[in-house]
Amino acid sequence: MKTLEPIPLEQIRAAKKRIAGNVLRSPLIRLSVSDAPAEIFLKLENLQPIGSFKLRGAANAILSASDKELERGVWTASAGNMAQGVAWYARQLGLGCSVVVPENAPDTKLTAIKRLGAGITKVPRKDWLNIYKTHAHEGMEGLFIHAFSDPDVMAGNGTIGLEILEDLPDVNSVVIPYGGGGLSCGVASTLRALNPKIKVYACEVETAAPLAASLNAGEPVEINHTPSFVDGIGVHFVFPEMFSLARQLLDGSLVTSLDGIVSAIKIMAERNHVIAEGAGAAPVAAALAGLAGAGKIVCVVSGGNIDAEKLAKILGGDMP
């Protein structure tokens, strides 16, 4: 297994220059809840093009590659936001793009990927997960962009940490959704380098929290997980190469309830007028539950891609 190291600060600063103009410098705003257990701030990555932070990593990986590497276009394995991030940016540059998806991927996501001009290959879920380990799939050519463990992708994600520190230098804690681990480890690389006193937490949902279980066990373990509307994070295991990095960089994983996430989505919509998807609202749910302690807490609202029916249910006060 390849060992991953924290991303060096100079690579993250280089990424910031590289992707400026392609991504939004997202705003940091105060959550409008007066009786919260902390001063909670929202880093609104849901306002990015394609509605998630993924464009930062995708753009940095593509812009870091040589013309020769890009000759045959780019490809990735993802059924969700990363596929859209890579496809969106490939289209901006006029590059070909292919996406490998698990055969049970929902049609709404596939439609969104196709609309961005990418080709789609469906494979069994097991084979799809395997791509994250092998970084290869028969028939795929061009530059492979790994959704989370590619250092260029993590460096792109790390630029979020630079912006947080520019806007709120005296932040006490930062809470970040944990799916593959590329977002939390990218942002944590920045924060550790610039201010080791800041607490950096991963955040998972109770129905699928393999990082918390693995941190407890001291090694990657598999868990039983229940699929839910929080589809941006949560599988039944952690990727071993990411686990060692996550254990080194993060102060733990805050596990939040599904009810808490529903309520956080509703609060953000009603009070701050922004739309978050389940994964994006998880850090806010954790902070509101007091899991991240007191002081100034930044919650990375990673994305806003949620279906109409699910959002309607949540605004009506129901579990989707």
Partner 1 sequence: MIERPSLNEFKAAANNLESIIVHTPLIPYRGGDNDAKILLKPEILQAVNSFKLRGVFNAVASLSAEEKSKGVSTVSAGNTAQALAWSARYFGISARSIMPDTAPLPKIEAVKAYGGIPVLIPISEVFRFLQEHLWEQEPYSFIHPWTNGQVLIGHGSLGLEIMDDAPDVDTVFIPVGGGGLLGGVGSAIKAVNPSVRIYAVEPEGCPSLRSAVDHGQPITVECKTICDGVAVPYITDEMFPFLNELIDDVLLVSERAVRAAIRSILWHNKMLAEPAGALALAAALQVPLTHRGKSVCLVTGGSISSELMMEILQEERGQ
Contact residues toward partner 1 (CB under 8 A) are: 24-27, 29-30, 32, 34, 44, 46-47, 49, 51, 92, 269-276, 304, 308-309, 311-312, 315-316
Q: How far is the CB of 59 from partner 1 (least distance, A)?
A: 15
- Cα(175)–Cα(161) distance, integer angstroms: 11
Between 9 and 29, name the residue whose CB sits nearer to partner 1: 29
Q: Minimum distance between the CB of residue 135 and partner 1, rounded to whole angstroms?
A: 31
Least distance from partner 1 to the Cβ atom of residue 124, Å = 32
Nearer to partner 1 by C-beta: 9 or 274? 274
The token duo for 218 is: 């001291």
Nearer to partner 1, 285 or 291 (CB): 285
When the beta carbons of 108 and 134 are compared against partner 1, the nearer one is 108
Tokens of 215: 């941190």
Residues 58 and 118: beta-carbon distance below 8 Å: no
Residue 125: φ, ψ to 5°: -55, -40
Give the residue among 104, 156, 98, 151 at the shortest CA–CA distance from 127. Answer: 104
Burial class (CB in 10 A: 0-12, 13-18, 19+), 41: buried
Give the residue with the Cβ less far from partner 1, 141 or 270: 270
Select 223 or 262, whichever has its Cβ closest to partner 1. 262
End-to-end CA distance of the chain: 39
Comparing CA positions, the residue from 26, 30, 33, 41 lying closest to residue 172 is 41
Using CA atoms, how far apart are residues 129 and 145, in angstroms rounded to an integer?
14
Nearest approach in angstroms of CB 42 to partner 1 is 9
Return the number of the residue (44 or 191) whose C-beta is nearest partner 1: 44
The closest of 254, 225, 251, 227 to 238, measured between CA atoms, is 225
Q: How far is the CB of 273 from partner 1 (least distance, A)?
A: 3
Phi and psi torsions of 45, nearest 5°: -75, -10
Q: How far is CA 195 from CA 15, 164, 190, 244, in A?
A: 19, 12, 8, 21
H or E segment to which residue 200 belongs: strand 199-205
